[in-house]
Amino acid sequence: MQATLSSGWPTLLRRLEFVAYPAAAGAAFAVMSLGVVTWLPALAAMGHALQRWRAEGDSHCFTNAFSAFPQYWRALWRHCLASTAAGIVLTANIIYLLGRSEPWTFVLLAAQVGIAAVLVIHHVALAAEAGRSPHGAVRTWSRGALALGFGSAARGTALLGAVISAALLSLVVPLGPLLLGPSIPVLLALSFADPRRHTP
């Protein structure tokens, strides 16, 4: 019995890592996003920290995200401003359309929700691409994100599903949506982008 328990501890600890390290990276993202227009560089920095954990076994996800943030801020702040403005406009449109009762509003509402879903997939994929190649150019990251997020319908759907399910399923954990909501989808995107997945 004791031998069984002792042999089970390493397995349990390895499984806990898959919650603890993404949660630590998510905590760093939450802190760095307090500047509102810093959320996209923070998402990329979190992706970089998660990639180092996946590829190199570096468990300093919290501090690695903070260390990477200045570099991503310099590269992505303009993109972040534009994305933030687009998000505000979409949110305002959706709120306005939800208060209308005309039949045509359903079509416009569906279009706004569809655009929002596309933006969510793109930014999750962009964070993964930036996290994988921190010294790359924004244009290269954007092209990679388009291929990663929209090159396969199944992949894009999985990323969007991960965003929604991570937020909902992590409700059982205190601060779960805040800590795991952003990190789990980016971690999945990093997994999809891993070249080792495509080698026979």
pLDDT value at position 125?
A: 98
Q: Which two tokens stand for residue 180?
A: 């795991």
* Structure confidence by residue, pLDDT tens digits, 68-108: 999 999 999 999 999 999 999 999 999 999 988 888 899 99
Domain definitions of the chain by residue range: 2-198
* Structure confidence by residue, pLDDT tens digits, 126-164: 999 999 999 999 999 999 999 999 999 999 999 999 999
More confident site: 11 or 43: 43
* Cβ partners under 8 Å of residue 103, min gap 6: none
Other C-beta atoms closer than 10 Å to the C-beta of 147 total: 14
Which pTM was predicted?
0.89
Share of the chain above pLDDT 90, in %: 76
Nearest to 182 by CA among 19, 25, 60: 25
Residue pair 65/49 in contact by the 8 Å Cβ criterion: yes
- The Cα–Cα gap between 189 and 175 comes to 22
